Structure 1
Amino acid sequence: MTNTTAIAAYWDAAAPGFDDEPDHGLRDAETRAEWARLLDGWLPPGPVDVLDVGCGTGSLSRLLAEVGHRVTGVDLSPRMVERARLKLLAGGLTGRFLVGDAAAPPTGGERFGVVLCRHLMWTLPDPSAALRDWVGRLGPGGTLVLIEGRWGGAGSGSPYAAGAGALPWHGGVGSGELAAAVRPLVADVRIEPLSDNALLWGRPVTDERYAVIARV
């Protein structure tokens, strides 16, 4: 088991420097443009309600709000959520950001056109339950977008919170395993490899990075 208070404290401490990573802060114009291009291809056309689970500092939320989507972001870290709010405000954009468990977002019975998750699955004590929860929040024809990976060297250092080393997907999850977990819950699944797109990461990478896009 993991301690949510300790986990929130870990990400609170990480928040000030979180955007220093090229794919977190999206400060480089080419990196921003490449993420925007991919999101545009994964999401349905026209403004939709998007639930960004584990939104961090809100960089993807901001990209989505810039093209008119109605974004709700959820993160366990209050400091991450505050930075996400400020990021959208600085761009003259609107979005809703909530402090809460991304595996069971505090949005009641609301339904969304898209649930988006990036680099979160490795932190979850019960990823299968989280996937069922997220799919249950999608309206008819909704889209689940999971941007994930199995990162080189991940899991070799100290765990980020007590007990984290025992998490089912600590260190990441391969595309085949994640797609297999999603497939019984949805009507259609595809995998898009992302490792060979250095623009997304600000550098070349050699580990497995990908997106699973599923529709209900």
Structure 2
Amino acid sequence: MPTELSTAIAAYWTAAAPDFDQEVDHGLREEQARTAWADRLADWLPGEPVRVLDAGCGTGSLALLAAAAGHRVTGVDCSPAMVELARAKFAGEGLPGAFLVGDAAEPPTGGEQFDVVLARHLLWTLPDPLAALRAWAGRLRPGGRLVLVEGRWRQPAEPVPYVPGAGALPWGGGVGAEQLAAAVRELGFEARVEDLTVEPALWGRQVDDERYALITV
């Protein structure tokens, strides 16, 4: 059953949906950013077509790149507006993909199993990120992998609250690579971490906070 906090989070992202893709790394409308993310995904995802669950898919930008590379993508997002934008992107490109409205921390995919669970900048928004990691691990086929793009971002001197009650979010300021690696080790995974601050094309600018990808192996 949705909690007051989860309802507020869904409302926040629904309100953000119309302008979400204006950020270079969200919409991937600029060729340099789109190519940079496509190249990274090619390194993180298996070379052969596999089933990918994009948890917290937003407007589907990364899902679209994965589908264009031949992968079979299912996206889940708590915001109906985000899901509609993702569906429209896929329709515009003539690519197959399934998109569901639901809790990305507990994806409504039934007993379906995936080769990869992909999540970008999602864990900081979740009331229980460790439970989400367990749920995602449970969606993986034997030998499957988690691909988690996360970080700890610079905060303004007087940050605007994310949503009411956001101060209770365990990883509300982001999560560092060492902490996340420790969490996935508890689930029985080993992982490698790639520093993403070194490639400004991913973000449309130079960044100096912590941004990384963690890929389980």
**TM tier relative to shorter chain:** over 0.9
Instruction: Label 1:130 to 1:87 Cα distance change in 2 as closer, same or farther (>3 A).
Output: same
| Cα distance in 1 between the residues matched to 2:131 and 2:57 | 19
| Cα distance in 2 between the residues matched to 1:44 and 1:179 | 21
Among candidates 132, 135, 139, match of residue 133 of structure 1: 135
Among candidates 172, 176, 180, match of residue 178 of structure 2: 176
CA displacement 1:21-80 (0-9 Å, x = unmatched): 000000111110110011010111211000000000000000001011000000000000
| Cα distance in 2 between the residues matched to 1:91 and 1:141 | 31
Number of equivalenced pairs? 215
- Paired residues of 2:184 and 2:190 also in contact (CA < 8 A): no
Q: Where does structure 1 lack aligned partners over 5 or more consecutive residues? A: none
Does residue 56 (structure 1) correspond to residue 61 (structure 2)? The answer is no
CA displacement 1:115-141 (0-9 Å, x = unmatched): 000000101111111101101110011
| Cα distance in 2 between the residues matched to 1:2 and 1:210 | 31
Amino acid across the alignment from 1:79: A
User: Cα distance, 1:158 vs. partner?
Assistant: 2.6
- Paired residues of 2:53 and 2:73 also in contact (CA < 8 A): yes
User: Cα distance, 1:185 vs. partner?
Assistant: 1.3
Partner of 1:92: 94
| Cα distance in 2 between the residues matched to 1:123 and 1:154 | 18
Partner of 1:118: 120
Partner of 1:161: 163
| Cα distance in 2 between the residues matched to 1:171 and 1:137 | 27
User: Cα distance, 1:161 vs. partner?
Assistant: 1.4
After superposing the two structures, state which structure 1 stretch, 152-161 or 169-178, moved more. 152-161
User: Cα distance, 1:154 vs. partner?
Assistant: 6.5
Partner of 1:3: 5
Matched position secondary structure for 2:46: coil
Amino acid across the alignment from 1:54: G
Partner of 1:19: 21
User: Cα distance, 1:2 vs. partner?
Assistant: 4.9
| Cα distance in 1 between the residues matched to 2:169 and 2:12 | 16
After superposing the two structures, state which structure 1 stretch, 187-196 or 105-114, moved more. 187-196
Query: TM-score, structure 2 length as denominator?
Result: 0.96
- Paired residues of 1:2 and 1:161 also in contact (CA < 8 A): no
| Cα distance in 2 between the residues matched to 1:129 and 1:76 | 17
Query: TM-score, structure 1 length as denominator?
Result: 0.96
User: Cα distance, 1:4 vs. partner?
Assistant: 2.1
User: Cα distance, 1:155 vs. partner?
Assistant: 9.2
Instruction: Label 1:154 to 1:165 Cα distance change in 2 as closer, same or farther (>3 A).
Output: farther
Amino acid across the alignment from 2:190: D
User: Cα distance, 1:205 vs. partner?
Assistant: 0.3
| Cα distance in 2 between the residues matched to 1:68 and 1:155 | 44
Instruction: Tell me the C-alpha RMSD between the 2 structures.
Output: 1.3
Matched position secondary structure for 2:211: strand
Q: Where does structure 2 lack aligned partners over 5 or more consecutive residues? A: none
Partner of 1:47: 49
| Cα distance in 2 between the residues matched to 1:37 and 1:130 | 27
